[in-house]
Amino acid sequence: MTTVTPPTPTADAIAEPWASEQTITCRDDRVGRRAVIAIDDTTLGPGFGGVRYRAYPSTEAAAREAQRLAAAMTLKHALAELPYGGAKSVVVLDGPVPAPSSPERRALFARFGEMVARTAGTYIPGVDMGTLLEDMQTIRDDGGARAFCDEVSPSPFTARGVYAAMRAAAVHEHGEGGLDGLHVVVQGVGSVGEEVARLAHRDGARVTVADIDTARAQALATELGGQTVATQAAPFAEADVFAPCAVARVVTREAIPRIRARIIAGAANDTLDTPDCAEALRAAGITYVPDFVANAGGVIQVHGGVAGWSDAETLAAVDRIGTRVGELLETADTEGITPLEAALRRADAALGRTVAR
């Protein structure tokens, strides 16, 4: 009889091997590639989710992020009533970032595309943190895999959806004036956050912005007649609306007593450090719009392109995020639950199962 000794768990172990329908590790020493594909749930259709390209301290950290974000994509598609499941992938950055269009970068994403192609359409990648439209084109053209976000950036549509969400929350709290006269703090003014700030300003809000690129933040603040604040201070600034559009998990149990905004609605994934933060926010009188509801504009636009929607149809579908937020907030008030729980109950109904709380 052959005795098989199980490997000793290490920090490089896959974080939660049964957390997703499939968790696939990808390796190619020729191009220096390490990647993880997590396909969370395909109840509603093939798993669609972006490709992150960044450094990770361990395989476990990379796998955990892929699985966590894939689960969020399941919720996002379910709430947006889209025919996709949840998935996500991460490509581990080891060393300097290869320049766009460089042979090294193209070889990396071509080989990753070949790995994606092996999923036989169960996973469809798109752009995410650290990846570009041209990377999706390489996955498609050189790797032979289906890819979304390969022609049009979803960022402006994500921003439009976040704006619709925060405006709906403001109407729920203050009446039909929307954001007019309110103070909005946007943390992170990259391609999405910058547009969120502009849309809020256009609606009459006074805008304060924060970004690790202080020059970029100052330029936008000057353009909008607003102010800047340090990124770490942004969640605690005096404001009506806090829009986290950068790092995840900015709302912790320890931070909640210091948050002065009455509404939290932004583009960042995983705004809450732990699910119980939702109840703590409700107890503090802070309206939290679940991030997977607010930031769905990009995936709605992608589906609109696949389905052949007109521009008007796509924008109307993105704007319905505001309607959806209004309904969730009304349900939360009526049933005495958090907006997060209201959203998760909708996801339960769409998926035919109870999603993790």
Catalytic positions, please?
88
191 annotated ligand-binding residue: yes
178 annotated ligand-binding residue: no
If you compute the radius of gyration of the chain from its CA atoms, what whole number of angstroms results?
20
Dist CA 235 CA 87 (whole Å): 29
161 annotated ligand-binding residue: no
90 annotated ligand-binding residue: no
Q: Pick the closest to residue 212 from 239, 247, 173, 263 (CA basis).
A: 247
Look at the block and give the residue holding tokens 């650290």.
130
188 annotated ligand-binding residue: yes
189 annotated ligand-binding residue: yes
Please give the DSSP secondary-structure letter assigned to residue 273: S
3-state secondary structure of 296: coil
The conformational region for residue 187 under phi > 0 = left, psi -120 to 50 = alpha, else beta, is beta
Ranges assigned E (strand) in the chain: 22-28, 33-41, 47-54, 85-92, 123-127, 183-187, 206-210, 227-228, 241-244, 263-264, 287-288
Dist CA 180 CA 201 (whole Å): 9
Q: Which residues are annotated as a binding site?
A: 188-193
| Annotated binding-site ranges for NAD(+) | 188-193
